[in-house]
Amino acid sequence: MKTIEDLQVNGQRVFVRADLNVPLSDGRITDDGRIRAVAPTIAKLVAAGAKVIVASHLGRPKGEPDPQYSLAPVAARLGEILGRSVSFATDTVGESAKATVAALANGEVTLLENLRFNAGETAKDDAERGAFADQLAELADLYVGDGFGAVHRKHASVFDLPARLPHAVGDLIATEVGVLKRLTEEVERPYVVVLGGSKVSDKVGVIDNLLGKADRILIGGGMAYTFLAALGHEVGISLLQKDQIPVVLEYLERGKANGVEFVIPVDVAISASFPDTKTHKPVEDFEVVDADKIPADKEGLDIGPKTRELFASKLADAKTVFWNGPVGVFEHPTFAEGTKAVAQALLDSDAFTVVGGGDSAAAVRILGFDEKKFGHISTGGGASLEYLEGKTLPGLAALEG
C-alpha cells in the first residue's frame, strides 16, 4: 500500500476518509479519541500544502439528513486539536460542499457533513454506491484512507472511492495494520487475549481463529454468562445466549485439544436490576457471589475480586495481550472494578498491549488511565476483530489496489 509520502499533495485537493464516529450527548462530544487519532495525518497533509477535505460518518442515520447526527460539533473540536480553523460544509456533495471545497487555499481544512446522510454511502446496490462515489470523486484529486474503524464496511467512501482517485493509506491505518500483524504474524508469547462485551455471537469468529494462535483466552463481560451456563451453572437473569451454548462447548473442547487455556470468572458482582449508568444511583442490593452461586433472580454485572486476581495472574507473564470488550458495566462505578483491574494488569505487565477499540478504548479513557502507557489503543473495534478473524476488509483491499 502506498503512503502519504508517495503522493504529491502540494496544491492538490486531498480527500481524507476519517472515522470521526464519536459519542455525543446533547450535542457534546464525550470522547474525542478518534478525532485526536486522525489529527496527525491531517496535520501532515496541511504542512505539505494540501487542500484537505475530511469526510466521515457518525451514527446510523437512515440515508437522509438527521440533525442529531451532524458532524458540526466534530468540525469545531477538530479545529481546536489542529490549532487552526476548520470550515464545515452543511452537505456532502451538494452546493455547500462544492463551494466550501472551491474556497480552500493550500494548507486549509474543511469537514463535509455526515456521509451517511446520503443513501448511496451504504447502499447494497453497486451502481447506487458507485454513483455516490462518482460525486465524491469530483470534489478531490487524491484520496487518503485513514478511517480504520470503517475499513470492514463496503461503503462508497471506503471501498468505491479509492478506485476513482490516486490513493494511499494515512498514518493511522498504517499503524493499525502494523499492530494487527504483530498479533497475527509476529506474535511474541505467551499471547493472552481478554474478551468481554455483551455477546458471544459478536466474538464467534475471533475466538474460532484465536484457538490456533492464543495461549490463553480470558472471558468476561456479558458473554461470560453463556460460558458459565455451558458449564452447567445457574446464571439467573444475566445476559445469556442459549443458542450459543453448543458453540461455547465446542470451543472449550477445542481449547483443550489445542492447548489453549480458557479462563472463566470464578466470582461475579450481581444485582437484581441493571444499574443507572447516567445518574450513577447507588446499587443497594449489590453483592459478590461465586460464579456457580448466582441466584435465579439476580444478574451478573462484573467480575468479582477473586476473578480480578485470577485475570491479573494470567496476564502477569504475557508478552503480547489483545483486549477487546469491557468485563463489566464499567459506566457505573459499582461495576467498573473488573474493567479497571484488567486495564491495570495490562499496564503492570511487560507485554505489548493492544486495546481493541470500541468500548474498551472508551473505558480506558473514561476510567482515567493514561493512553500513552498502553502499547496501542485501536480506533476500530469491529475492524480489528474482523482482521483477527482472518477476513478480507473491503477498505484495506481497496487501498492495496
Cite the active site residues.
34, 199, 358, 382
Is 34 annotated as belonging to a binding site?
yes
Helix (H) or strand (E) holding 230: helix 224-230
Is 84 annotated as belonging to a binding site?
no
Is 106 annotated as belonging to a binding site?
no
Is 221 annotated as belonging to a binding site?
no
Q: What sign has the CA pseudo-torsion 222, 391, 216, 354?
A: negative
**Amino acid in position 279:** T
What are the φ and ψ backbone dihedral angles of 11, each rounded to 5 degrees? 80, 0
What is the phi-psi region of residue 390: left when phi exceeds 0, alpha when psi lies from -120 to 50, beta otherwise?
A: left
- Give the number of residues written for the chain: 401
Distant-in-sequence, close-in-space partners of 74: CB < 8 Å, separation ≥ 6: 20, 22, 29, 35, 56, 58, 111
Within 10 angstroms of residue 187's Cβ, the number of other Cβ atoms is 17
Helix (H) or strand (E) holding 109: strand 109-111
Is 59 annotated as belonging to a binding site?
yes
Cell numbers for 233, please give them: 451453572
**Omega prior to 65 cis, within 30 of 0:** no
Is 399 annotated as belonging to a binding site?
no
Is 360 annotated as belonging to a binding site?
yes
Is 19 annotated as belonging to a binding site?
yes
Is 120 annotated as belonging to a binding site?
no
Please compute Rg for the chain using Cα positions. 22
Q: What dihedral do alpha carbons 235, 343, 331, 289 form, nearest 10°?
A: 30
Is 57 annotated as belonging to a binding site?
yes
For strands 287-290 and 267-271, give the pairing: antiparallel
Is 358 annotated as belonging to a binding site?
yes
Is 203 annotated as belonging to a binding site?
yes
Burial status of residue 292 (CB atoms within 10 A of its CB: 0-12, 13-18, 19 or more): middle
Is 114 annotated as belonging to a binding site?
no
Is 300 annotated as belonging to a binding site?
yes
Cell numbers for 343, please give them: 486495564
Of 353, 387, 354, 392, residue with least CA distance to 209: 387
What is the spatial distance between Cα 195 and Cα 359, in angstroms, rounded to a whole number? Answer: 12
What is the spatial distance between Cα 184 and Cα 222, in angstroms, rounded to a whole number? Answer: 26
Is 20 annotated as belonging to a binding site?
yes
Binding residues for (2R)-3-phosphoglycerate: 34, 116, 153
Binding residues: 19-21, 34, 57-60, 116, 153, 203, 300, 331, 357-360
Binding residues for ATP: 203, 300, 331, 357-360
Binding residues for substrate: 19-21, 34, 57-60, 116, 153
